[in-house]
Homo-oligomer: A and B are copies of this chain.
Amino acid sequence: MISITSIQQLFTPAFTVDIQKVKSNAKNMIERCQTLGVQLRPHMKTHKTLECADIMTGGSRRCIAVSTLAEARFYADNGFDDILYAYPLPLDKVGACAELAECLEMFHVLVDNEVAVTELKKRRLQVEKSWLVWLKLDCNNGRAGVQPEDTMALKLAKSIADSEGMELVGVYAHCGNSYEATNVKEIQAVAQETTRATLKFVEKLEKAGVRCPRSSIGSTPSCSHPVSNMGCLNEVHPGNYIFYDVQQLMIGSCQMDDIAVRVLTRVIGHYPHRNQLLIDCGWTGLSLHSLGKLPTGYALVEGHPELKLVGMTQEHGKIEPSSGKLDFEKFPLGSLLSLIPYHACATAAMHPVYYVHSDGRIITEWKPTRGW
C-alpha cells in the first residue's frame, strides 16, 4: 500500500474537505451567534461525522441537532450529549428514543401532532426523567410543523406542557423557504418573518401561562446573514454552512472562497467527434441535485468556467465547452479536475470516506454514519 500524502494521489472520484475552510466557517458561525447572543445548536445532517461535529461545537460535543435516529445513536455512542432529534417524531422510533433519553443527559424530541404526544405519554421514561419535547412550527415553510396562527398550535403546546413526564422545552422552526432567496436582502426578509412569527407565538404561550423556555430557528442562509431580531431567540440550528456549496453561493449565503468541499475527478476519455470529454465521476460521486440546470451544468469545474458538465450516468460525467471547440490538449487523459458541488449535503451523502486536507496535503479521513 502506497502512503498517500496529497489529494492529487487519491483514487477518483474522491470527496475532499478543506480543513482550514471548515474551521473558518465554524468559527465565523460561533462568533456570529455570540455577537447575536444566541446559542448555536449546529445541525449534523450535512456531514454526519464525529470530527466535524467536534469542530462545529467548538470542542464541547454538546448541543447539536440531528436528522435521523442513526445520527442520534452515533453521536450518543461517541460522547456527545444535548442532542435534539430535529425531526417529526416517527412513531416506530419512540422506544429507541426513550432509550436515548434514558441514557443521555439531554435528548430532545420534536413533535407537531397530538398522536405523537400520546405515544410519548404511553412510554414513560425511567430514572425519573421527563421527555424533553420541542414543538415544531411551520412559519410559512410548508413542510413539517403546526402553523403558529392555527389554534391547534397553542392547544398542542399546552398538551405537552401539561402532560406528566413531559416538558415543553422549546419551539423550533426551519426557514427552508430561505432557499428560494437570490440575495442577502431576500434571505433576511425570510429570516425576519420566521423570527417574528416564532417570537409572536412565544408571546402567546407566555400570555397563556405555558412555560416554554427556548425558541430556535435555522437554515444556513438565515444564520449566515442574521437579522438583529434573531437575537431575541435562544438558539439557531444551521448545518450546511460548515461546507457551503454552489447553491448557497447562488442564494447569497457565502462567497466562493468559503466552499470547503470538492469532488476530485479524472479525465478518462476524449471524444473529439462530439466535442466532449468523459470524467470518472457520475451521479454516485456527485448526486443529481442541480438537475443539470446550472449555466455550467451539474456542478462548477474549478478554474474552468468555460466547461459545462452536461450529463451524468452512474459512473461517468460528460463535459463539453459552453461554446466553441474543446482544446483536448489542455485536459490529457488521467488529468485531475475539481468539481464544486451544487448541494454539499447531497454530494457528501454519496461518499463513505471524506479526505480531509490542508492546502492539498491529506491530514486525515472522516467516516460519516449512514442509514436511519
Contact = CB atoms under 8 A, between A and B. Distances in A.
A353 interface: yes
B92 A334 contact: yes
Interface string A315-350: 110100000000000001110000000000110011
Contact of A176 (B270, B287, B313, B346): B313
> Can you tell how many copies of this chain the complex includes?
2
Nearest to A280: B90
B266 A90 contact: yes
B11 A314 contact: no
Given A274-B142, A314-B45, A266 B372 contact: no
A93 interface: yes
Interface string A4-48: 000000011110000000000000000000000000000001000
Given A143-B316, A315-B67, A372-B11, A113 B269 contact: yes
A268 B316 contact: no
B349 A69 contact: no
Interface string A349-372: 111110000000000000000111
Contacts of A268: 87-91, 144
Contacts of A176: 313
Given A176-B313, A345-B314, A144 B269 contact: yes
B45 A115 contact: no
Contact of A278 (B88, B278, B315): B88
A143 B313 contact: yes
A273 B147 CA distance: 10
A190 to B, nearest CB: 16
A254 interface: no
A116 interface: yes
Most buried by B among A68, A69, A112, A372: A372
B144 A333 contact: no
A221 to B, nearest CB: 15
Contact of A352 (B45, B334, B370): B370
A69 B13 CA distance: 11
A45 B113 CA distance: 42
Nearest to A292: B291
Interface in A86-110: 87-93, 96
A88 B349 CA distance: 25
A288 interface: yes
A289 interface: yes
Interface in A252-278: 266, 268-270, 273-274, 278
Contacts of A163: none
A247 to B, nearest CB: 13
Contact of A92 (B11, B143, B314, B371): B11
A283 interface: yes
A115 B349 contact: no
A284 interface: yes
A72 to B, nearest CB: 12
A71 to B, nearest CB: 10
A314 B67 contact: yes
Contact of A350 (B88, B90, B280, B349): B349
A289 B372 CA distance: 20
Nearest to A91: B334
Contacts of A269: 88, 112-113, 144
Contacts of A90: 12, 266, 268, 280, 334
